[in-house]
Structure 1
Amino acid sequence: MPEGIILKGIGGFYYIETRQGIIECKARGKFRKKEMIPLVGDRVEIEIADHDNTKGIIEKIMLRKNVLVRPPVANVQQIVIVASVCLPAPNLLLLDKLITVAESRELDIIICLNKIDLDDRDEYLKLVEIYQSAGYHVICTSSRTLQGINDLRNALQRKISVFAGASGVGKSSLLNTVDNRFELQTGEISKKIDRGKHTTRHVELLELNEESYVVDTPGFTSFELMEMDIKADDLEYLFREYQNYHSMCKFRGCTHTSEPGCVVIEAVNEGKISRSRYDNYVQFYNQLKDIRDWHK
């Protein structure tokens, strides 16, 4: 039975890449009875129609490695979090939220600082220092000058990668530059509100080359960590720069928010940990703690 991967799903039809080409399929009713909806990124087995070798039926959905809810996609291995350094200004709160969610899902993480050609003062280098020091792979890019595009293209090889970030940061433009076959629609930045228009309409797996796929997702500007089922007590383990400090605080169970003798707070005050990252951590912790206390 032929196997393939779901590239996109529209109106109950699923477009599956196989060795025989792209096959348009519907799903067996048994999946609906099990309340299991095929997702983009699913590896599936299909039965090709006798009368038309371009159409078929999904017979089996292979075991998923993971599932993301937003966007709805399966088997993602890597997230590329795109933040523009200018127009719009970098949203570090959203960036750290996305990193936290990616860490909780155990995804490989790339931070892409885009539109560096617009930063005349090279202020973006401060962000590079913050996130590289925290332990992340940072790639600086410009779709106009092509700086960093080869580095980004190489980082996408032999993985399913999802692109995420606010509207207007240049995700679709970057993907078009990485591979001009994509021809994704891009939007202009609204000068009035300094935000991008939503340009991506649906989730689709785009093939870069064999075994290399990317997902361009609708941009968004806010979401809540409680949607991701992250607990306050787990938050410190989702900030890489805290790893060397977990057992060094004066009090057991230190939340690293206000306790005396907290080595994380000391590291922040000494400039060893980014102040902006720490402030966002405290904000996230308080949000998640309130949810935990409400459920008690």
Structure 2
Amino acid sequence: MLQKNGKIIKGYGSSYFVKSEGKIYTCSVKGKMRIANSDQHNPVAIGDNVIFEPEANSNSGVISEVLPRRSRLSRPANYYTDKEQVIVSNIDQIVAVVSLTKPKFKSGILDRILTVAEREEIEAVICLNKFDLAEKEEADFWLELYSSIGYKTILTSAVSGKGVEELANSLKDKVSTVIGQSGVGKSSLLNCVEPNLNLKTKDVSDYNEKGRHTTVHSEFFELSFGGFIADTPGIREFGLWGIDKENLRDCFKEFQEFGADCKFSNCKHITEPKCKVLEALENDKIQQLRYDSYLNIFDSL
């Protein structure tokens, strides 16, 4: 049986679009792969490098093997929370898009995305979007908070064009994925970065300020100035995979500087004596908002 190497660039239902030697094949997944990977909701994901068997005289094929992943972004599967759902793989960075308003800014979801980036050792870029609708004082507050931690943070607006060039420079020659709540303006922002994408957009509901899904499947796009970007469906909430009460402390970037000097090597930075993270919090070296977010996530695990 003839076999080819390719990369999954789009997933739609149980079909996966594999690019190989400049050609796109619509592929299914071999049943034995699903059995062998029963702990995963989906044995393959966009970004995967795969081996597939093309059908003769056809643009169809069957995926038989996923090659080792160098990185992945995962969360618990919907309705099957004991199974891993890989959203995208083999990426260099995560672009977390949050809106400063409409829908209301939620640092909790952003912090969850950042913990996953730290867990997987993937670079994270934060876009504080809809700057044109926000209060400048609030925008500057969040910009300073996340920049001070060490995250590249950009104020952006698809309406005014603010931050678009800076975002494009961050995407250049990298493999990135964009993630955020429904309605935060991911697709509009990507259309500004790469107008030829023509991604569908929708307004946020004025009634409940909730976004409506416009991206209904995950897909990789090649950028004309170099690099690739994966657009993913908007999220309502972001469950954590591979993170528990024992390793959460390692997923908050600003804790790492102080945590190594705690009295106890397994210190969770909550009530333990001689905790250097708590000391740093008292001395305003760690933001109270971020620490509160840590506690909220800890309690949810």
Q: TM-score, normalised by structure 1?
A: 0.85
Match of 2:18 in 1: 16
The equivalent of 2:175 in structure 1 is 160
CA distance in 2, matches of 1:269, 1:49: 64
Unpaired runs of 5+ residues, structure 2, are: 76-85
Instruction: Indicate the residue corresponding to 2:80 in structure 1.
Output: none
Amino acid of the residue matched to residue 68 of structure 2? Answer: L
Q: Report the counterpart of residue 239 of structure 1 in structure 2.
A: 252
**1:40 has 2:46 as partner:** yes
Structure 1 residue ranges without an equivalent (≥5):
289-296
Indicate if the aligned counterparts of 2:258 and 2:280 stay in contact, CA closer than 8 A.
Answer: no
Q: Deviations over 1:92-121 (max 9, x none)?
A: 111111111221122111111111111243
Report the secondary structure of 1:89's partner residue: coil
Matched, 1:85 2:100: yes
Identify if the C-alpha distance between structure 1 residues 210 and 33 changes in structure 2 by more than 3 Å, giving closer, same or farther.
farther
Aligned twin of 1:64: 69
Deviation at 1:129, TM superposition (A): 1.1
Tell me if 1:230 matches 2:243.
Answer: yes
Partner Cα separation in structure 1 for residue 30 and residue 239 of structure 2: 35
**Selected match of 2:129 from 114, 124, 136:** 114
Q: Secondary structure at the match of 1:202?
A: coil
Q: 1:170 aligns with which of 185, 204, 218?
A: 185
The verdict on how the C-alpha distance between 1:33 and 1:256 changes in structure 2, with shifts beyond 3 A counting, is closer
Deviation at 1:32, TM superposition (A): 4.7
Equivalent residues of 2:73, 2:116 under 8 A apart: no
C-alpha deviation, 1:161, in angstroms: 1.5
3-state SS in 1 of match to 2:300? helix
Alpha-carbon deviations, 1:40-92, whole Å to 9, x = none? 1111344555534x444545432222343345322232111111112122101
Aligned position for 1:193: 208
- Superposition deviation, residue 258 in structure 1: 2.8
Give, as a single letter, the amino acid of the residue that structure 1 aligns with 2:24: I
- CA change 1:235–1:189 in 2 (3 A) is same
Between the aligned partners of 1:37 and 1:234, the Cα distance in structure 2 is 25
Q: Say if 1:204 and 1:260 are closer, same or farther in 2 by CA, change over 3 A.
A: same
Looking at structure 2, the residues matched to 188 and 124 of structure 1 have their Cα atoms a distance apart, in angstroms, of 21
TM-score normalized with structure 2 length: 0.84
Q: Which range moved further: 120-129 or 253-262?
A: 253-262
**2:270 corresponding residue in structure 1:** 257
Helix, strand or coil for the counterpart of 1:113? Answer: strand
- CA 1:236–1:216 in structure 2 vs 1: closer, same or farther (change >3 Å)? same
Query: Is residue 2:288 matched to residue 1:275?
Result: yes
Out of 48, 51, 57, the residue aligned to residue 57 of structure 2 is: 51
| 2:209 aligned partner, one-letter code | D
Counterpart secondary structure, 1:73: strand
Residues 197-230 of structure 1 deviation map (CA, whole Å, 9 limit, x = unaligned): 12211111222248722222222232443xx131
Q: Distance in 2 between matches of 1:162 and 1:137?
A: 15
Aligned residues: CA RMSD: 2.5
Q: Letter of the 1:194 partner, please give it.
A: E
Distance 1:260-1:179 versus aligned 2 partners, 3 A rule: same
In the superposition, relative to structure 1, how do residues 191 and 11 fare at CA in structure 2: closer, same or farther (>3 Å)? closer
Partner Cα separation in structure 1 for residue 71 and residue 174 of structure 2: 14
Question: Identity of counterpart residues, as a percentage?
Answer: 38
Q: What is the alpha-carbon distance in structure 1 between the residues aligned to residue 151 and residue 141 of structure 2?
A: 14
Q: Tell me if the contact between 1:116 and 1:122 (Cα under 8 Å) persists in the aligned partners.
A: no
Q: Which segment is superposed worse, 39-48 or 192-201?
A: 39-48
- Give 1:292's aligned residue: none
